[in-house]
Amino acid sequence: MIKKIFFKYEKRIYFKNALQQVQLVRQYCTNKTTNAKIGSIIGTKDPSFLGIQTTFTNELKFIDKQCYNPIPTFRILNLLHKHVQLPEDLELDQDTMIRIYDKMITLNIMDKILYESQRQGRISFYMTNIGEESTQIGSAAAITLEDVIYAQYREAGVLLWRGYSMIDFMNQCYGNCKDVSKGKQMPIHYGSKKLNFLTISSPLATQLPQAVGTAYALKLFKKNACVVCYFGEGAASEGDAHAAFNFAATLECPIIFICRNNGYAISTPTREQFKGDGIAARGPAYGISTIRVDGNDVLAMYYATKAARELCIKKGKPFLIEAMTYRIGHHSTSDDSTAYRSSDEIEYWNHYAPITRYQNYLESIGLWCEQQDKELKKRIKSSVLLAFAEAEKELKPCWKELFADVYHTTPKHISKQMHSMEEHLTEFHKHYPLHLFE
């Protein structure tokens, strides 16, 4: 009853105020200075729509990509290596420049050895990074260990730069007893808590909204760090990507999105994936500061990422980098890319390979020579093969690991399954290569 009386009372006041407003307007309408009076009430300027800054026009015109100039591509290394100028405000010493080349070569040699090992049946699966070394190493060199990394499955170079050892790579690909994931992950699904590198998952784009959530947590705890999230242009077609962009922009999260636009989502070329101006055009649309970079130019990737990180932490806002590169290798060992692209196309991009471009630049400034190159490649190949041989000798994890690491306390139904497996192996152990397991 009290609620009904209160509602009626409020309703009566509301209508009383409404009648007063109507009477006030009528008085102004009958006054000679009507326009001035109304103008003083509602204002003389055009209304400003919520969330949009716009102007009014009487021209009926639909906007499409032809109305804009394409977003330019930032680069430092031109094809002739002439008039190359490095940004003065972001220093890069000679030792770091040589280390960058070292890691690019290491990644390339590791790829070739592990790819061949899969072809020989030694490991089950592999994905190379050939042609995309600059995108990974250049960006990784510009961030710190305090920054949290969410990667896809072609960012081994990022982990390599952060200190993941060669034997760690080999153990993971072999899934042996020294693999930190205990053989539960597919090869190349790396992860390292120590190096702030979240374990890679196979489903596309799932890491994007997760990365934004982590970035928001860094913001709440006022950490002097950011999140760097890598993904391919194919993953940008997933709904998770759009949700992540909007989430990051509206909550102003310290995150750098790095899109590795390598031309193909497995076998689907970019011309069949989207019709706009690449992935970079989506950044401003969501309110994210954006730059498009030559992903085959390791110095351009370094400086763009370095600047993005500083601004990202300083302003506490997201940034998007679209790294334009090309996947020279097959999508994976399960793919034959010559079925959907020509050999001539691959050969064409081989002439613009990141390692060759950077090597030529180092030689042009006197930091590198052919003899140094031969010695470096020989040394790296020996270290990779040594780690490869060590990992191959290790036993597989104990079969009981199949039932571990899911629950803190193993439930009864899982214990029952493990007991059943144990009885099965006791009876049929001769049919299983148990000597290969720890």
**Which of these is catalytic: 116, 272, 392, 423?**
116
Q: Which amino acid is at 47?
A: P
**Which of these is catalytic: 233, 332, 337, 394?**
332
Q: How many residues are present in the chain?
A: 438
Place of tokens 């600059």: 134
Contact 399, 425 (CB under 8 A): yes
CA distances from 366 to 353, 362, 363, 369, 372 (A): 21, 6, 5, 8, 12
> Quick one: DSSP state of residue 238?
S
Helix then strand count (H, E) for the chain reads: 14, 8
383 catalytic residue (yes or no)? no
Place of tokens 């909204």: 209
Measured in whole angstroms, how far is the alpha carbon of residue 11 from the centre of its chain?
55
**Which of these is catalytic: 155, 331, 337, 394?**
331
Q: Could you tell me the end-to-end alpha-carbon distance of the chain, in angstroms, rounded to an integer?
A: 76
364 catalytic residue (yes or no)? no
- Per-position DSSP letters for 22-91, written without gaps between them: HHHHHHHHHSTTHHHHHHHHH-SSPP--TT------S------GGGSPPPPEE-S--TT--S----TTS-
Measured distance CA(199)–CA(211) in Å, rounded? 12
**Which of these is catalytic: 48, 165, 202, 342?**
202
Tell me phi and psi for residue 396, to 5 degrees.
-75, 160
382 catalytic residue (yes or no)? no
User: Which residues are the active-site residues?
Assistant: 116, 202, 331-332
